[in-house]
Amino acid sequence: MDPQNQDVTHRRSDTPHDAKDAQLEQYRVHPAAKHLTTNQGVRVDDDDNSLRAGVRGPTLLEDFHFREKITHFDHERIPERVVHARGAGAYGFFEAYESMADVTCAAFLAEPGLRTPVFARFSTVAGSRGSADTVRDVRGFAVKFYTGEGNFDLVGNNMPVFFIQDGVKFPDFVHAVKPEPHNEIPQAQSAHDTLWDFVRNQPETTHMMMWLMSDRAIPRSYRMMQGFGVHTFRFVDAAGRGTFVKFHWKPRLGVHSLVWDETQKIGGLDPDFNRRDLWEAIDNGDVPEWELGVQLVAQDDEHAFDFDLLDATKLIPEELVPVRPVGRLVLNRNPDNFFAETEQVAFHTAHVVPGIDFTNDPLLQARLFSYLDTQLIRLGGPNFAQIPINRPVADVHNNQRDGHHQMRLDRGRSSYSKNTLGRGCPIVAGPDHGGYEHHQERVDGAKIKQRSPSFDDHFGQAALFWHSMADWERDHIVAAFRFELGKCDTHDIREDVVALLANVDTDLARRVGAGLGITPPTRTPAPVGEPSPALSIANNPGEGGIHTRRIAILAADGVGGDHVRAVAARLTEHGATCEVVGPRQGPLRASDDEEIEAPRSLLTMGSPLYDAVYVPGGAESVQALRGDADAREFLVQAYRHGKAIGATGEAGALLEHCAVPTDAPGVVVDADASAAFVDTFTTAIAAHRHYDRT
């Protein structure tokens, strides 16, 4: 074979977007009516009884089926991720809007309409695999692009900055936020002494702590959160010219969050709230979508900002450098097997393709080491790239051999380069043949363990964040600080953190301190500059309306069937999901003697699991709900959590009975289930939450 005749010249951008799915098909094992066998393919005669000496005798070692089954079971677990252990994933595609050849030679960004298969995994950071979804935490937002030029992993978060500036502090930060080592308490919580002890000693955390205390840390849905690459990366064009780039994911449905009290309750009602939401949305065909955007900074402008582009505790305000949309991400297929796909997927910041390169951000540099290292222990050796979820759709040829769980049957004698016996194969590819060429950057300086003074300002952008928030967002941030610090047992930790906040804003420190009985010291807070409206959730409502919102219809026997049917039909038309919740599951008798199915009961559901509540009329039904403590609690909580509440006919009186003000924002009451009622109710639901309630 002549290597010169191999297909090595094309740009390999033409991978069909379902190529990954086609590749996975060979691995899928479909359930079928077949005989049970051992792993050696021997048919098993009895799977209920082990082989024993006499019916009451000891089990015999020679029962190879029993031993193989138990042994395999004993080895079912692999180490969970040190961080981001709990997650949910889905497949889909990325579609480029236009050619980005002006800044990058990445082939998957080269042509408008080009689709690349992807797998995305969303996660919490601190909790272990079995922890609840709705805890206060950063969310991981990792996307693996199976491009024709190899895999590109964009391993980001739902917040644009990070806790620390240098990767050498990462183990310290993670030890501090994880359960405390002596008693392994608390699980998946930042509200404890060690985290806040770390914070008070590491002021660079301040900006990120503002994000963590904001509603960004309690997303309503993975489908409703932004994603960020965090670091400044580098695009490189075909001529080798570099451009700094920050990556942004913007959800079509907008950015929406839960309220804190609600997250606490969901943790018990449905600890899988976020992963269930993602799964069900995709299952129902309500495919989530994000837009990928980039902030571009010319290399000559590296020092044009009053912060350092290499400092991961800083963001570039969108008002300063706009986000250029480059494509869309659509997640449209759930995995077949959680362990094989979502658990075994191995992301790595160093999985880049030609056209995408790194910068000297010391946090990013540390990650370039960590992710490969962590896969070796988690996935048991160097062949993890051969696991189906991790396999590129691009061809893989190299001289790497052997190792645990080697799946390839590499043929031939020569597994070294350069060789002549193997006719020189595989051959290296120059840039003209799609070879990855590292961007050339001049670097000089003394070897030194020291931060650049340009990383010194720890409070300026924390203040920018605070001053860019809506009033209700600030209220939530203050409440979150009070909660978290209130859970710290050590008094001087609380004092020191309040003092730290005095560097950000006097009012913030005063308000947090007021809830803790602490008077902040006098400090000169960071100067108040221009706010960045893009940072506020209030300015990211999205295009969704009430699409995929979950609405509970509270009903009992005697409910006005016409009300239920009319309202549910209209809300469903707008893309919402309506679910009747009754005192018991099963059919309810409506006032017109028709049956209304209640798939859920007040026993298993609570209002925190819904976005809005509708109570239809029907005197008998309303009377029953009035006497039901769970039903009253349902309404009171929905009101307290700022949700839209609709009531028609006799149900208006039920709201009053529950002390839900019928003239409050987002509470819609009407005598009839009229079109006008549904329109007003729909608008109230679309607003997501009514934080302006007193």
Residues found near ligand HDE in the complex (CB under 6 A):
81-84, 87, 121, 123, 140, 142, 155-157, 162, 167, 170, 230, 312, 345, 347, 363, 366-367, 370-371, 374
State the nearest-atom distance from the C-beta of 362 to ligand HDE, in Å. Answer: 8
State the nearest-atom distance from the C-beta of 373 to ligand HDE, in Å. Answer: 7
> 288 or 649: whose CB is closer to ligand HDE?
288
**How far, in Å, CA of 153 to CA of 598, rounded?**
44
> 154 or 685: whose CB is closer to ligand HDE?
154
> 188 or 654: whose CB is closer to ligand HDE?
188
Question: What is the distance between the terminal CA atoms of the chain, rounded to a whole angstrom?
Answer: 78
**How far, in Å, CA of 632 to CA of 625, rounded?**
7
H/E stretch holding 88: strand 87-96
State the nearest-atom distance from the C-beta of 153 to ligand HDE, in Å. Answer: 8
Tell me the catalytic residues: 84, 157
How many Cα atoms occupy the beta-carbon half-sphere of 560 within 13 Å? Answer: 21
State the nearest-atom distance from the C-beta of 83 to ligand HDE, in Å. Answer: 5
**How far, in Å, CA of 576 to CA of 545, rounded?**
9
State the nearest-atom distance from the C-beta of 151 to ligand HDE, in Å. Answer: 13
> 169 or 482: whose CB is closer to ligand HDE?
169
Q: What region does 601 belong to: left with phi over 0, alpha with psi -120 to 50, or beta?
A: beta
**How far, in Å, CA of 591 to CA of 559, rounded?**
5
> 294 or 345: whose CB is closer to ligand HDE?
345
684 phi and psi, to 5 degrees? -65, -40
Q: Which residue is nearest to ligand HDE (CB)?
A: 140
**How far, in Å, CA of 318 to CA of 294, rounded?**
10
> 232 or 532: whose CB is closer to ligand HDE?
232
> 83 or 353: whose CB is closer to ligand HDE?
83
138 phi and psi, to 5 degrees? -75, 150
Distance of CA 164 to the CA centre of its chain: 20
Question: Which is it for the CA torsion 82, 84, 85, 89, positive or negative?
Answer: negative
Question: Which is it for the CA torsion 74, 79, 85, 90, positive or negative?
Answer: negative
- Cα angle vertex 340, ends 337, 346, to 5°? 130
8 Å CB contact between 234 and 245: yes
State the nearest-atom distance from the C-beta of 652 to ligand HDE, in Å. Answer: 47
H/E stretch holding 569: helix 561-573
**What residues are paired with 554 via a beta bridge?**
581
> 88 or 556: whose CB is closer to ligand HDE?
88
State the nearest-atom distance from the C-beta of 60 to ligand HDE, in Å. Answer: 42
Tell me the chain's radius of gyration from C-alpha atoms.
28
State the nearest-atom distance from the C-beta of 156 to ligand HDE, in Å. Answer: 5
* CB proximity list for 33: less than 8 A, separation 6 or greater: none
**How far, in Å, CA of 207 to CA of 195, rounded?**
15
